[in-house]
Structure 1
Amino acid sequence: MGRRLRQRRRSILACAARHGASNVRVFGSTARGEDQPNSDVDLVVDLDRKTGLFALEALRRELSEILGVSVDVAPSDSLRPRVREEVEREAIPL
């Protein structure tokens, strides 16, 4: 997991909780240790049932501000089975 995520872990988790997200995991290049300074951060989260698209977009924007890079947030229940398996294989819990 990247240094940027470790340093801002509490802020990330607090932001996620405010927006109805939990079980935050990083995947992709950051999880594999292949990220570069300008790499985006890919996160997969579990969402409360009441969390809608506007809250998800607000979460993505706020996390981008916290981390200073583009952030993609994928709800775990929206991933296709094959993609979910791949993501879960490399995902690292925050």
Structure 2
Amino acid sequence: MVDLRVEREEAGLTQARLAELAGIAPSNLSAYESGKRSASPAMIARIRRAMVRPSDRLQAHRDEVARIIERNGGLNPRVYGSVARGDDTPASDLDLLVTVPPEAAWTFVSTARELSELLGVHVDVVSDGGLKEKHQQLLDEAVPL
């Protein structure tokens, strides 16, 4: 028997957050977890996909992420934040730090949206060119893609 509640709790998600990530009504998720309704295999797969961490998605698509960044003019892609620290959860976003040459600035604008669509998680892309001294911690924790 599938125990979605246990899986959700192990993923560190609230019922409301998992429902949001899976794109379903919280009342439906509650009914699936309590056994009041049976979830189809497709729905179980959908809910489980919503419990995957951004680091897992990045690992599965690392080469394609690098290609998208390069195609849009970005260089030296790095990961920072919870994914870089290894403490991301399914509710985390993916934070990327990229060198964007001035001539690529306009073409690079759509990169975050394109990566979000590929990975199914929110992606923040920050250009290292505009960082101030107060952002040193971000630079220190950033790791190569």
TM-score, scaled to structure 2: 0.59
Q: How far apart in 1 are the matches of 2:131 and 2:108?
A: 15
Amino acid in the other structure paired with 2:144 = P
Residues 1:41 and 2:94 aligned together: yes
Q: How far apart in 2 are the matches of 1:40 and 1:57?
A: 18
Matched positions, count: 92
5+ long unaligned stretches in structure 2? 1-53
Residues 1:28 and 2:98 aligned together: no
Equivalent in the alignment of 2:126: 74
CA RMSD of aligned residues (A): 1.5
Identity between Structure 1 and Structure 2 (%):
39
Instruction: Report the CA distance between 1:8 and its aligned residue.
Output: 0.7
Q: How far apart in 1 are the matches of 2:82 and 2:107?
A: 25
Higher strand share: 1
Q: How far apart in 1 are the matches of 2:115 and 2:83?
A: 15
1:36-91: per-residue Cα shift (whole Å, max 9, x none)? 11211110000122022x433310100101111111000001111120x2112111
Higher relative contact order (CA 8 A, sep 6+): 1
Q: How far apart in 1 are the matches of 2:107 and 2:118?
A: 16
Higher helix share: 2
TM-score, scaled to structure 1: 0.89
Structure 1 segments of 4 or more deviating over 2 A?
54-57
Residues 1:90 and 2:144 aligned together: no
5+ long unaligned stretches in structure 1? none
Residues 1:64 and 2:116 aligned together: yes
